[in-house]
Amino acid sequence: MVQPTLKHFFQNEYVCYIATIDENPEPGTVINFGEQYSTRVKDEDIGKAGVFALKLENNNNTFEISPTVAERTADFVVTVRDNAFIDYERYKVLSFKIVAQEVGPATNLSASVPATVYLRDVNDNPPIFDEVSYEVTLSENVTAGSRVIQVHATDKDTGVYGSIRYTSITGEGSEAFTMDSQTGFITVAMGSSLDREVAATLVLTVEARDENGNGNSGVVPLIVNLIDVNDNAPRFEKDVYDFMLNSDLTNFTSPALVKAIDDDAEPPNNVVRYELIHGNYENKFYLNETSGELTLLSPITKIRRKKQSSYEKLPKRVATKFTKDQRETQNDLSTVIANVDVDESSTNNRNLTKETTTEVLKKRRRRADDPDALYTLTARAYDLGKLIEGYFSRR
């Protein structure tokens, strides 16, 4: 029996097998040592003494060799068994030994040769953001250019494969923001239209890509909560309100309500209050601050009504001119005119003829069309500092 030497087993002129492979190869991938390396193993013994086994040592089950048993001569192949350790970010080089050992009786002869596998980095890792999600709170009237937040991601790959660019912000409302592709700084865009009355929260998605913005992508949620500001003034529902008093001037014939609404999203910005600010002579009228209902506190005597009609024409004209000036000079003011007439069709005499009733209705219409008012009451609807003025008249 020939004493085995390295030359007898491995027909390789080099003392080490060397190969280079991409990281994370599929199981079964063949390790190509190149044409300069012979993968032939030979035992010149005859019979059972020429049978030998092939195995890998210090391998961590990463690679496997085939065949595992041969007689006299064989060409071996090393393949990937488990790619868990073939990770460039963990190991740059993997080393193991290829061992040939006789299996015949009364022999334990063997030879081994080292093998070195260099790993080549591939773009197999996406960018990962530092946070699972980002959340920020902004005022809805935040100015353009204001800093919102900075996002940051890392990539385990090296070189250009690990070079990250922040590429996009998507989702409804994303047009209100801009992002620096190099730093991940997010700011409010020019001409942004953040509106708490439209949306209380924006759920956006930020994307980053490696390979200078051309490779694998990673995303993260960006939640933007908007704070309501008092950016809407109350506005009355009508331009003109018409109210009627009963014939004995003690009450309105139906509830006399004015109403203004405020488009702000949250209290107290959208809570409307009312008040009389002008023309409430002798405190005859009361405007409920929460409901907007106008009530008569005490009856109006016919004598007083006649007196008022004789000298209120000039103040009415003055009030009308004041109203127009206000509307021309202050854009945040709107006015309402409430014409209050006397319902003379309601009377204690239940025996009116058809002709009489018709005549009363004609008189009522003429009064309603009369531009002169006995009283001009000015009301105001307001929220936190924002207000509008409404003007309504009582006849």
Q: Left if phi > 0, otherwise alpha if psi is -120 to 50, otherwise beta: which for 176?
A: alpha
Domain of 27: which CATH number?
A: 2.60.40.60
**Domain match, 40 and 157 both:** no
- How distant, in Å, are the alpha carbons of 247, 270, 316, 364 from that of 380? 28, 15, 18, 29
Query: Does residue 50 sit in the same domain as residue 150?
Result: no
pLDDT of residue 367: 39
Q: What is the pLDDT of residue 77?
A: 96
Adjacent-strand bridge partners of 40: 75
Kindly state whether residues 135 and 116 are assigned to the same domain.
Answer: no
Model pTM? 0.64
Judgement on whether residues 116 and 135 belong to the same structural domain of the protein:
no
Give the up-direction half-sphere exposure of residue 214: CA atoms within 13 A in the CB hemisphere. Answer: 4
3-class secondary structure, 342: strand
Last residue of a domain, one of 182, 209, 227: 227
List, for residues 312-349, the tens digit of each pLDDT value: 443 333 333 323 333 333 334 444 555 555 555 544 43
Confidence of residue 31 (pLDDT cuts 50, 70, 90): very high
Per-residue pLDDT, 344:
52
Q: Which residue has the higher pLDDT, 325 or 112?
A: 112
Indicate whether 283 and 187 sit together in one domain: no
Is the same domain home to 74 and 140? no
Same structural domain, 336 and 269: yes
Indicate the average pLDDT of the chain: 79
* pLDDT band at 369; cut points 50, 70, 90: very low
Is there a single domain that holds both residue 312 and residue 266? yes
Is 197 part of any domain?
yes
Task: Please name the residues in contact with 319: beta carbons below 8 A apart, sequence gap of 6 or more.
Answer: 279, 376, 378, 391
205-236, pLDDT tens digit by residue? 999 999 999 999 999 999 999 998 888 888 89
Are 303 and 390 part of one and the same domain? yes
Residue 106 in domain: yes
Let me know if residue 1 belongs to a domain.
no
Structural domains in the chain (count): 3
- Whether residues 13 and 39 share a domain: the answer is yes
150 is in which domain, residue-wise?
Answer: 128-227
Q: Are 192 and 54 in a shared domain?
A: no
| Same domain (yes/no): 274, 381 | yes
